[in-house]
A and B are shown apart, each in its own frame.
Chain A
Amino acid sequence: MVVISDILVQGVQMLLVLLLAPLLTGFVRKVKARLVRRKGASVFQPYRDLLRLLRKEVVLAENASWLFRVTPYVTFAAIWVAAALVPTFATGLLFNWTADLIAIVALLGSARFFLALAGMDVGTSFGGIGSSREVMIAALAEPAMLLIVFCMALVAGSTQLSTVANFMASSYVGLRVSLGMAVIALIMVALAENARIPVDNPATHLELTMVHEAMVLEYSGRHLAMIEFGAFLKLLLYISLIACVFLPWKIAVFGTGPLAYAVGVAAYVVKLAVAGFSLALFETATAKMRVFRVPQFLGAALMLGLLGTLLLFVSKSF
């Protein structure tokens, strides 16, 4: 009986992230449009986009290999699994202990590895430029992310996200310098990983400024739908991650009953809305930076993470 309810809650979480991810992106786009006094498309537009892409024919480049066709599914699956492992509305889910934060970072790394390969598969210069810039960004964002993980793990004494979230929700965390550094660094990494302004522009169609979009330029139809869906999920994942670690307000502790879960879901939706609004506000207020300024941006995140970790090595109370 317990196992069934466990599986149920885990299943609800997996479906919830799937359902909410396009909505979040639609919401961010809507807010961005409203901020520049455009009317903007409906918040449900991403769902319509996905459905439209699913109905379309796939145009495959002549020399595309099997890897090109497999990648959308592998990428999507890896991101979905990672997103299902991050506590959203409740901690202590059935499969939380299958993979800790380091493994979640690595799962996202797997997704990127295959996407970067797919960018090189057709053999056009745009795919190559996207891939090579993506791995350059990743080469800095991933170590920064791992140092942030170290920081959180040292404070909470665990790399398990559920344990970390429970610890952060408890009263004896207090204000810490190291966690402040970690949250700033995490936001910077999240912007880079999700190809948001100021690192990359998700809406641009000027090819030379693109990174992520250049990499997936050759995709169309259902393949593109999977990749887009993966990108929506990744944004949701990072926001959930920031929310569950640094804002564990009203997150349901495992086994507290349906009411707590309902409150948890409501709180989660509110958190998503706040984060989405802040993201839109930030993106509207900032300009995209040149590609070779990105290493400095991410280098700052890396150093913040390292500094936070160092402080915790020096004393647990920082």
Chain B
Amino acid sequence: MISALALQMWCVAGLLAVAILAVALSRSKTSTSVVYSASLAICVAALSGSLYWLVGGKANASDLTLPIGLPWLGAHFRLDVLASFFLVVVNLGGASASLYGLGYGDHDPAPNRVLPFFPAYLAGMNLVVLADDAFSFLLCWEFMSLASWALVMAHHREAGTARAGYIYLLMASFGTLALLLAFGLLAGPAGGYGFAAIRAAQHTPYVATLVLILMLLGAGSKAGLVPLHVWLPLAHPAAPSHVSALMSGVMTKVAIYGFIRVIFDLLGQPSWSASVVVLFLGGITAVMGILYAMMERDLKRLLAYSTIENVGIIFVSLGLALAFQANGLKLAAALAFSAALFHVLNHSFFKSLLFFGAGAVLTSTGERDMEKLGGLIHRMPFTSFAFLVGCVAISALPPFNGFVSEWLIFQAVLQSPELPQWALKIMVPAVGATLALAAALAGACFVKAFGVTFLGRARSPAAEAAHEVDRYSLSAMFILATLCLLAGILPGLVIDALAPITVEILGGAMPIQANEPWLSIVPIAESRSSYNGLLVMVFITISASSAVYFIHRFASHALRRGPAWGCGFSDPTPAAQYSAGSFAQPIRRVFGTLVFRARDHVEMPQPGDVGPARLKIELHDPIWETIYAPIAGAVGFSAEWLNRLQFLTIRQYLSLVFATLVTLLLVLAIWS
């Protein structure tokens, strides 16, 4: 019997072998199906291994040391419950993306730019989760970043891809630098880079604060925390859609794994002031992310911005867990932490599903711009159904899964008056309000995403000529849609599966949900709150079908198709419909004037002129303009200034060398 960790490592080795095989097969026509089916098989194996280990296993964590990496350390790998949960997320995402890729990959104009990197990217994400020393962690982290960068650059001739790749590379290097420093601080002067040594060491509050800041910069930039999110809405949509799904649905979760591993596991008992920072950043991220998404007209960028929102929600929940843990409220901490992990899982389900849907739209119409889509529900019925399920789930509506995790987070917020610190007493209700606002705006945003893309009349010939996509893509979407529903109606099973993790990380757990009657979930006690997704679903089904039965039994059956009524004013062209921009107009006016300094400019033609009137929407990205543009400006300015050194005469160069030499000697003389 092979050990669970060995199985995972063999799967990683298998994925790397597939990557090499993809290079070897690059001339062959079958390479697409070979690579994706091999990745699918390996991911399913790794998924079932880690799932079995997480749910069924009472086994202890297992270690493995490979003789590579730092010579005196070796490369440590470890499988514990936290890692196994994230392995489930990674490999489920990997398996569904591979299945989707079997169909989607056929449409790729340059498959050899994707195929070798796809399995390598999956292997990288698996390795980050398995790594058990700082060196392997950082190495695998960089491997994952570079593989995803290569995938972002797959369609390198498309407008904007080069810029996206450039900014991604910069931000990824910045993030890794922060992580490097964080691990350096954690290892201390003795250089104990193994996670076991770090865990055993005592860290001073000063080091803990610095590590928190560095982790927020390092893991936060990869996860998309505002204001480090700028690369994310550029890079995620630029990649092929199944890779976008992996980047948004899975890689952000790997970043969150890094944050949890260091802050909750390695650093020991947290301080409450850490939670204030995490809560604040999480709240800002959630609201800003969804407001950006609301303003967006590109479907894939909208989804990427919504990822930022969900990362914010997860960080809020982690911040609550930190606050409770710092004050020794184990049960509440376990509730908040389980809610965060549940949302991690949920987001990986529905975000992958939505990106697959966007990819299906892209293959079938060649458009990502929602203003050129519309009416796809008639021509792509299955895709639109799956996409609708994803929209309902991500908008946190019962009985789907998104609601359950947000409900748990709200229950955790309601536990927080017990926190003694005043800063938290003020912060938590404010963050609760931002979460509620973000949830409501998410609903509005996904009404827009689905309504403009799939409903109404086609806005372009491409949308008119759309057709349903292949069966592999559809089955990947429907599997994820089913998972969204199952996690929504059977949340108790998920919470119970998460219990070993909260026990290991926090030392407490939520009540066992399997003991509750009727599969309800009860976070604290039944008198406080309970929710039963299954019964809500059954009730809705029964009352809807009884309404349908009654109507069809007693009411008139007559039905006539006619032109749309529209109050007698029938719009002649599809352009007269509401578009993404006009749908967002009320929210742009309410929130956008404050946040984005949004202005609508209407240019009317002169009287008698038959030219069209034009509406121009002016939006300013506050974070880009206040943080990134000045930095880019300063770099540009100094580069310009230094550039003068390139055009000196030989005499000037020699005097420069002489001056440098004298200065250095002077410094040495004074120093010693």
Contacts and interface: CB of A to CB of B under 8 A. Distances in A.
Interface of A: 54-63, 65-67, 73-74, 76-78, 80-81, 84, 95, 97-100, 102-103, 106-107, 109-110, 112-113, 116-117, 119-129, 131-133, 135-136, 138-143, 146-147, 150, 153-154, 157-160, 163, 207, 217-218, 221-222, 225-226, 291-292, 295, 302, 305-306, 309-310, 312-314, 316
Q: SS class of chain B's interface: helix, strand, loop or mixed?
A: helix
A142 B443 contact: yes
A101 to B, nearest CB: 9
Contacts of A147: 429, 432-433, 436
A95 B444 contact: no
B532 A98 contact: yes
A310 B448 CA distance: 33
A113 B392 contact: yes
B336 to A, nearest CB: 16
Given A131-B451, A309-B432, A313-B416, 20 more contacts: A56-B558, A61-B563, A63-B457, A67-B377, A67-B388, A97-B520, A99-B531, A103-B403, A106-B398, A109-B440, A125-B576, A128-B456, A128-B577, A135-B586, A146-B410, A146-B436, A150-B432, A217-B566, A292-B590, A309-B433
A316 B417 contact: yes
Given A81-B536, A125-B571, A128-B578, A150 B555 contact: no
B564 A61 contact: yes
B540 interface: yes
B529 A58 contact: no
8 contacts: A113-B397, A120-B447, A123-B375, A123-B564, A128-B578, A292-B589, A292-B590, A313-B426
A217 B539 CA distance: 28
A150 B429 contact: yes
A62 B559 contact: no
Contacts of A126: 566-567, 569
B583 A128 contact: yes
A136 B587 contact: yes
Nearest to A62: B561
A77 B444 contact: no
A158 B529 contact: yes
Contacts of B543: 76-77, 80-81
Contacts of B452: 120
Contacts of A77: 539-541, 543-544, 547
B414 A150 contact: yes
B110 interface: no
A100 B561 contact: no
Given A106-B397, A217-B565, A139 B560 contact: no
B562 A61 contact: yes
B528 A125 contact: no
Nearest to B541: A77
B124 interface: no
B519 to A, nearest CB: 10
B407 A132 contact: no
A58 B410 contact: no
Contacts of A135: 443-444, 447-448, 586-587
Contacts of B563: 61-62
A231 B589 CA distance: 28
Contacts of A312: 417
B601 to A, nearest CB: 18
Contacts of B417: 154, 312-313, 316
B97 interface: no
A100 B529 contact: yes
B141 interface: no
Contact of B529 (A62, A65, A141, A160): A160
Contacts of A306: 429-430, 433
B429 A113 contact: no
Of B426, B455, B529, the most chain A CB neighbours within 10 A belong to: B455
A218 B450 contact: no
A147 to B, nearest CB: 6
Contacts of A218: 564-566
Of B426, B560, B566, B584, the most chain A CB neighbours within 10 A belong to: B566
Interface in B384-434: 388, 392, 395-398, 403, 407, 410-411, 413-414, 416-417, 425-426, 428-430, 432-433
Contacts of B578: 120, 125, 127-129, 131-132
A291 B586 contact: yes
Contacts of A98: 518, 520, 530-532, 535-536, 539
B112 interface: no
Interface in B523-575: 526-532, 535-536, 539-541, 543-544, 547-548, 551, 554-556, 558-567, 569-571, 574
Nearest to B585: A132
A98 to B, nearest CB: 4
B378 interface: yes
B436 A142 contact: yes
B65 interface: no
Contacts of A142: 436, 439-440, 443
A225 B528 contact: no
A48 B439 CA distance: 39
B503 interface: no
B396 A116 contact: no
A139 B564 contact: no
Contacts of A226: 547, 551
A164 B417 CA distance: 18
A232 B563 CA distance: 29
A62 B586 contact: no
Give 3 nearest A-B pairs by CB, closest first. Answer: A128-B578, A123-B456, A57-B558
A103 B531 contact: yes
Contact of B560 (A60, A121, A153, A158): A60
A205 B172 CA distance: 56
B645 interface: no
Given A77-B547, A106-B397, A139 B587 contact: yes
A218 B563 CA distance: 10
B663 interface: no
Contacts of B62: none
A81 B455 contact: no
Contact of B428 (A102, A109, A313): A313
B648 to A, nearest CB: 60
A138 B441 CA distance: 8
B231 to A, nearest CB: 28
B178 to A, nearest CB: 33
A129 B565 CA distance: 15
